[in-house]
Amino acid sequence: MLILSTIKPKEELINKMNTLFPKDEFHYYRNMEEAQHELKNADILITYGEDLTPELVSIASKLKWIMVMSAGLDQMPFDAIQEKGILVTNARGIHKIPMAEYTISMMLQVIKQNKRFIEQQNQHLWKRTGFQTGELFGKTIGILGVGAIGGEIARLAKAFNMKVLGVNRSGKLHEFTDQMYQVSEIEEFLPKPDFIVSVLPSTDETKYLLSEKHFNLMKSDAIFINIGRGDLVKDEVLIEALKSKKISHAILDVFEQEPLPSDHPFWDIEQVTVTPHFSSKTDMYLPRSFDIFEKNFQIFKQGSNEYINKIDLERGY
Amino acid sequence: MLILSTIKPKEELINKMNTLFPKDEFHYYRNMEEAQHELKNADILITYGEDLTPELVSIASKLKWIMVMSAGLDQMPFDAIQEKGILVTNARGIHKIPMAEYTISMMLQVIKQNKRFIEQQNQHLWKRTGFQTGELFGKTIGILGVGAIGGEIARLAKAFNMKVLGVNRSGKLHEFTDQMYQVSEIEEFLPKPDFIVSVLPSTDETKYLLSEKHFNLMKSDAIFINIGRGDLVKDEVLIEALKSKKISHAILDVFEQEPLPSDHPFWDIEQVTVTPHFSSKTDMYLPRSFDIFEKNFQIFKQGSNEYINKIDLERGY
């Protein structure tokens, strides 16, 4: 079988696949442009899910399965795929560990003033007074969206002896939360947390969910963290909340416009920490994605239908 | 009773003490120089333990109890104190939470390349390729000195799904370690961890415990963290280990000479992170110390002898 990949992983993973599936041919390219000439012969396609068009799907006449090495599927030409009855699976579930570690890392960076110490080191400065650092212990974290990722953040926050509040659709208590709120109760929730972290996806419900009145309700020393989607709050609302000190800091990994334009005010605001949509990206990303591929490929060969993360093409997730 | 303090805490704590002990007088000063004129009338002294001399002890003729708001007692004039039968207690136990959070924070800072992202933000640079970040998940941490502090580090490391190895005198298994080694087995231990953190105090046994041969045994991508005492390893040994890439990074909060001299090479080595002996210092330091004082003061008033952290003046700890 020919497995065409528009992702080129490290040698180690390439060797692993060859050892596991010696009778199959894996052809790896760095992008679709390079891979395109083999598309007509490919039985299986491995992709990040952003490089397919209806035209490319029609070229891929032998294609039976698309493994998307990502959780986002919004750029997939589902109609064309569905018409040809192609199986789609994705890498849902691999994000929770890196994103939870990112969240803890960034909360600690801000309250422990790690940037100050980096600056002091640059200046060869041994300074221990005139400032204080904080702790996670005993603080309250509020998580917008307690699913797989939010649940993992909750679990780690509990280990740090934080109080954990959460918001999701049902408001049902989660194993690692002390209290849950429904989205309709968000105004009751917002005044409580020292850290508010959003892992919400972009949907009609969540788009611009947070407005000025919501930031007015937060603690003035609250730290806001967005690792979900950038359209949870309008840039100008967040900038105004920071400038008028309604909250003390924002840690932003996602933005309304990505890449964040180089002249965007976020870069220069002292109380903003910018990272380039990287919270889920570690050296474990592809190994974990290929683990899912490997298990699904065994299932594919057996002719079973019990795939991990099989996408319902009707619903789109 | 007159409680003389050479530590001036925040208003909040001063008010708390006045509320709890309305019949007693608390006089707070910023240091011994300012406080000294009241020493002869003081029943109780609150101090960091670095500002006493035999002469001062002899002036303090009414002194019955010294509460040291620190764990280190090496600068206390024990002979003079013992001669006058003065009770000494300290703040042992308040360090484990901030020091464990510091350790997790710094491990994450290095493997998640937070300094790179701070630099990219300074440059308004959205860059997601050409580098990779890591995770704590699945990595191995080795802890030199698994007591109260090391045990708390082990507990948090376990929450991150790390493998936890430890070294202490007995080699006895700890609740949150997967494997323990005795000090005599250190050469078997050193090749295993991705992170090696020392919380060892300075004793005859631990002074210069780590030499060149020990760094030769560590993984070449190991990250070494010292939050114990600076004389665990000679500066030149550590610098050589870093320059010859025997290890990949050192996170140092303690030094042979403190303050670290401004011309010391550590400041400028790319693979060294310097903090100014700050791992235990957070805004919870004095509240937790005064919690111990408060409990001991109740015991003192009741005339009981069941003090928290009573120091055996013979042994000095």
Strand partners, A223: A195, A249
Distance from the B301 Cα atom to the nearest Cα atom in chain A, whole angstroms: 30
Contact B101 A276 (CB under 8 A): no
The pLDDT of residue B113:
98
B249 counts as catalytic: no
Task: Please calculate the CA angle A259-A262-A267 and round it to the nearest 5 degrees.
Answer: 95
Task: Give the helix ranges, DSSP H, for chain B.
Answer: 11-20, 32-35, 54-59, 78-83, 96-111, 114-122, 148-159, 186-189, 212-217, 235-243, 285-302
Query: Does pLDDT of B309 surpass 90?
Result: yes
The residue-averaged pLDDT of A38-43 equals 98
Please report, as a single letter, which amino acid is at residue A299. Answer: I
The pLDDT of residue B195:
98
Closest C-alpha among A162, A122, A163, A144 to residue A224: A144
Q: Which of B12, B101, B264 to mutate to test the interface with A (most CBs of A within 10 A)?
A: B101
Confirm if B244 and B237 have CB atoms less than 8 A apart: no
In chain B, which residues have their Cβ closer than 8 Å to the Cβ of A102? 112
Q: Which CATH class is domain B96-274?
A: alpha beta
pLDDT band at B317 (very low <50, low <70, confident <90, very high): confident
Residue with tokens 């010696």: A22
The residue-averaged pLDDT of B75-94 equals 95
Domains of chain A by residue range: 2-94+284-302, 96-274
Confirm if B251 and B110 have CB atoms less than 8 A apart: yes
The pLDDT of residue A313:
87
Query: Does pLDDT of A35 surpass 80?
Result: yes
Task: Give the helix ranges, DSSP H, for A173-277.
Answer: 186-189, 212-217, 235-243
Two structure tokens written together for B18: 């006045």
Count other C-beta atoms under 10 Å from residue A97's C-beta: 22
pLDDT in tens, B52-61: 999 999 999 9
Query: Does pLDDT of A316 surpass 80?
Result: no
Contact B134 A104 (CB under 8 A): no
Closest C-alpha among B261, B262, B259, B215 to residue B234: B215
The pLDDT of residue A71:
85
Q: How far apart are CA A95 and CA A105, in angstroms?
A: 15
> Complex ipTM above 0.95?
no
Q: SS3 for A194? A: coil
% of chain B residues with pLDDT over 70: 100
The single-letter DSSP state of residue A66 is E
Two structure tokens written together for A101: 């570690």
Edge-to-edge order in the sheet of strand B87-90:
B25-28, B2-5, B44-47, B65-68, B87-90
The residue-averaged pLDDT of A54-70 equals 96
Q: Is the peptide bond before A201 cis (omega within 30 degrees of 0)?
A: no
**Range A2-94+284-302 classified under CATH 3.40.50.720:** yes
Two structure tokens written together for A175: 């194993």
Residue with tokens 């790319």: B270
pLDDT band at A291 (very low <50, low <70, confident <90, very high): very high
pLDDT band at B203 (very low <50, low <70, confident <90, very high): confident
pLDDT band at A42 (very low <50, low <70, confident <90, very high): very high
Task: Please calculate the CA angle B116-A238-A107 and round it to the nearest 5 degrees.
Answer: 45
Please report, as a single letter, which amino acid is at residue B316. Answer: G
% helix, strand, coil for chain B, step of 5 = 35, 15, 45
% of chain A residues with pLDDT over 70: 100
pLDDT band at B73 (very low <50, low <70, confident <90, very high): confident
Please report, as a single letter, which amino acid is at residue B132. Answer: Q
First-to-last CA distance in chain A?
27
Select the residue of B102, B259, B262 nearest A112 (Cβ to Cβ): B102
Query: Does pLDDT of A174 surpass 80?
Result: yes
Task: Give the helix ranges, DSSP H, for A112-230.
Answer: 114-122, 148-159, 186-189, 212-217
The pLDDT of residue A74:
82
Contact B155 A159 (CB under 8 A): yes
The pLDDT of residue B313:
87
The pLDDT of residue B71:
85
The single-letter DSSP state of residue A65 is E
| Residues in B 89-128 with any Cβ partner in A closer than 8 A | 97-98, 101-102, 104-106, 108-109, 112, 114-115, 117-118, 120-121, 124-128
Q: How far apart are CA B2 and CA A30, in angstroms?
A: 75
Count other C-beta atoms under 10 Å from residue A152's C-beta: 21
The reply to whether A2-94+284-302 and A96-274 are identical in fold is yes
The residue-averaged pLDDT of A216-236 equals 97
Buried b (16+ CB within 10 A) or exposed e, B130-154: eeebbbbeebbbbbbbbbbbbbbbb
The pLDDT of residue A202:
86
Query: Does pLDDT of B281 surpass 90?
Result: yes
Backbone angles phi, psi at A10, to 5 degrees: -70, 155
Closest C-alpha among B89, B86, B92, B25 to residue B56: B86
pLDDT in tens, B231-250: 999 999 999 999 999 999 99
Strands A163-168 and A223-226 come out as unpaired
Furthest C-alpha separation in chain B? 69
pLDDT in tens, B107-164: 999 999 999 999 999 999 999 999 999 999 999 999 999 999 999 999 999 999 999 9
Residue with tokens 């002996």: B277
| Residues in B 243-282 with any Cβ partner in A closer than 8 A | 258-260, 262-264, 267-268, 273-278, 281-282
